Amino acid sequence: MALRLRDILVCLVLGFVAVLAWPILPWSSSNLYEIAITATGDRDARSKGSEVWLTGLPEGMDADAFLKSATMPLGWERRGDALFSYRDQPSTLRFHGALAREAAFTFVRQGWSGGVTIEINGAARTENLFDPDPAGKVLVVGLREFPQRAGASTTRWTKFTGAVLLVVAALLLVFRLLDSLSVRPSPPNSGYVSDTVRYALPSVAIFTLVLLGTWPAQMSPDSISQWWQLHTGDFSNHHPLVHTFLIGGPGYLLGSPGWSMALQILLLALASGVMAAEARRWGLSRRVTWSLAVFVPALPAVHLLSTTFWKDVPYAIAVAALTAMLMAMLRTNGGVARRAVFSGAFALTLFLVATLRHNGLLVSAGVVVLAAVIWRRHLRLRFYAAALAAGVALPVALTTFILPALGVVTVSRPYGGIIPLHLLGAMVAEDAVTEPQVSSRLETILPIADWRAHYDCLSVVPLFWAQGINHDRIDSSLLGPALHAAIAFPGIAARHLLCVNSMGWRLSPTRDAQYSLTPLGVWQAPAPFDSLGLVEAPVTPAINQALKWEFATTTQGVVPFLIFWRPAFILLLLAGSLSYVSIRNPAAVAGLAIACAPTVLNVLSLVPVNGSQDFRYYLPIYLIGPYLMVAMINAARCSSPASGASFAGGRFPAGPLS
pLDDT digits (tens, 9 = 90+) for 502-546: 999 999 998 788 888 999 999 988 889 999 999 999 999 999 999
Element (H, E) at 95: strand 91-99
pLDDT band of residue 640 (cuts 50, 70, 90) is very low
Burial class (CB in 10 A: 0-12, 13-18, 19+), 8: middle
Distance, in Å, from the CA atom of 296 to the CA atom of 307, rounded to the nearest integer, reads: 15
Q: What is the per-residue pLDDT for 136?
A: 59
Of the candidates 646, 525, 461, the residue with the CA atom closest to the CA atom of residue 227: 525
Distance, in Å, from the CA atom of 119 to the CA atom of 142, rounded to the nearest integer, reads: 12
Q: Determine the average pLDDT of the residues in 192-198.
A: 96
Distance, in Å, from the CA atom of 591 to the CA atom of 224, rounded to the nearest integer, reads: 42
Distance, in Å, from the CA atom of 195 to the CA atom of 440, rounded to the nearest integer, reads: 63
What is the b/e burial string over 562-592, where b = at least 16 CB atoms within 10 angstroms of the residue's CB? eebbbbbbbbbbbebbbbbbbbbbebbbbbb
pLDDT band of residue 158 (cuts 50, 70, 90) is confident
Residue 438 has pLDDT above 50, yes or no: yes
Q: Which residues contact 405 (CB under 8 A, 6 or more apart)?
A: none
CA angle 619, 604, 564 (to 5 degrees): 30
Of 111-115, 138-142, 365-369, 419-423, the range with the lowest mean pLDDT is 138-142
Residues 517-526 have pLDDT tens digits of 999 999 988 8
Distance, in Å, from the CA atom of 243 to the CA atom of 247, rounded to the nearest integer, reads: 6
Q: Is the preceding omega at residue 216 within 30 degrees of 0, hence cis?
A: yes
Distance, in Å, from the CA atom of 296 to the CA atom of 619, rounded to the nearest integer, reads: 12
Domain positions in the chain are 5-23+156-179, 27-153, 192-408+526-657, 413-500
Q: What is the per-residue pLDDT for 560?
A: 95
- Comparing 515 with 213, the larger pLDDT belongs to 213
**Mapping DSSP to helix (H, G, I), strand (E, B) and coil, where does residue 155 land?**
strand
Q: What is the per-residue pLDDT for 638?
A: 76
Q: Which residues contact 76 (CB under 8 A, 6 or more apart)?
A: 39, 83, 84, 85, 91, 93
Q: What is the per-residue pLDDT for 650?
A: 34
Is the separation of the CB atoms in 29 and 151 below 8 Å? yes
Of 257-271, 273-287, 367-381, 596-610, the range with the lowest mean pLDDT is 367-381
User: Residue 536 is which amino acid?
Assistant: E
Q: What is the per-residue pLDDT for 134?
A: 61
Is the separation of the CB atoms in 619 and 46 below 8 Å? no
Half-sphere exposure (Cβ direction) of 104: Cα atoms closer than 13 Å: 22
Under DSSP, the state recorded for 459 is B
